[in-house]
């Protein structure tokens, strides 16, 4: 049941995001689109409520309950940047705005960028662990909590793997292509 809620939340995220951007750029209704885009976090609240309800009604704690917490952490930590990314692309495709530049980061800029992204992953994991610990308190059964604890381990592994990626780009940041920004943009155009 929780997997269905997670899938529904993911679909709802993209549907509400697309609707908000369509209202903004096709119908030119900025205020209405802002209201739609502000509704995106409500999807996470509904998923959290459904997960808590399932556990409170005697649902057996499973990895999927922890997955709901991971999803919540990801959308809180990365949701704004995903919406901003989609908004830039919609402004270009639907609103006649400039083409979003392709990031070509090298050296210290690349390293700093990777560590900023890692910080978001750390935030996502921290949110997920807090939610999982709240679920464990809710069920109040240490033996039944082991699937939830394994999800905490998955969050820790994600943080560790992402730290390795950021460390890689700190040690080997790569070199600039030697192109001017205008040349780099032209090279990336279809």
Q: What is the pLDDT along the chain (190 residues), one digit of tens a residue?
A: 788 888 998 899 999 999 999 999 999 999 999 999 888 888 988 998 898 888 888 888 888 899 999 999 999 999 999 999 999 999 999 988 999 988 778 888 889 999 999 999 999 999 999 999 998 888 878 788 888 899 999 999 999 999 999 999 999 887 776 666 566 556 655 5
What pLDDT, on the 0 to 100 scale, is given for residue 143? Answer: 81
Q: How far apart are CA 71 and CA 116, in angstroms?
A: 20
- Residue 113: what pLDDT? 92
Contact 80/38 with Cβ under 8 angstroms?
no
Q: What's residue 90's pLDDT?
A: 94
Q: What is the pLDDT of residue 74?
A: 93
Spatial CA neighbour of 58 closest among 137, 134, 1, 139: 139
pLDDT in tens, 44-80: 889 988 988 888 888 888 888 999 999 999 999 999 9
**The pTM is what?**
0.82
Tell me, what's the pLDDT at 55?
85
Residue 178 is predicted with a pLDDT of 65
Percent helix, strand and coil across the chain, each to the nearest 5? 80, 0, 20
How many other CB atoms sit within 10 Å of the CB of residue 176?
13
């Amino acid at each position: 049941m929780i997997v269905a809620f997670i899938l529904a939340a993911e679909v709802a995220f993209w549907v509400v995001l697309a609707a908000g951007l369509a209202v903004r750029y096709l119908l030119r209704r900025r205020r209405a689109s802002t209201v739609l885009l502000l509704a995106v976090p409500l999807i996470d609240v509904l998923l959290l409520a459904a997960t808590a309800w399932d556990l409170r009604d005697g649902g057996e704690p499973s990895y999927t309950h922890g997955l709901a917490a991971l999803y919540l952490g990801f959308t809180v930590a990365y949701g704004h940047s995903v919406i901003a990314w989609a908004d830039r692309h919609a402004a270009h495709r639907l609103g006649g705005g400039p083409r979003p530049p392709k990031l070509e980061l090298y050296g210290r800029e690349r390293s700093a960028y990777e560590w900023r992204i890692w910080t978001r992953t750390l935030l996502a994991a921290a949110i997920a662990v807090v939610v999982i610990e709240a679920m464990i308190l809710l069920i109040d059964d240490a033996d039944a909590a082991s699937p939830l604890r394994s999800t905490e381990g998955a969050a820790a592994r994600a943080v560790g793997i992402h730290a390795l990626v950021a460390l890689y780009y700190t040690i080997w940041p790569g070199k600039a292509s030697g192109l001017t920004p205008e040349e780099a943009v032209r090279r990336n155009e279809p």
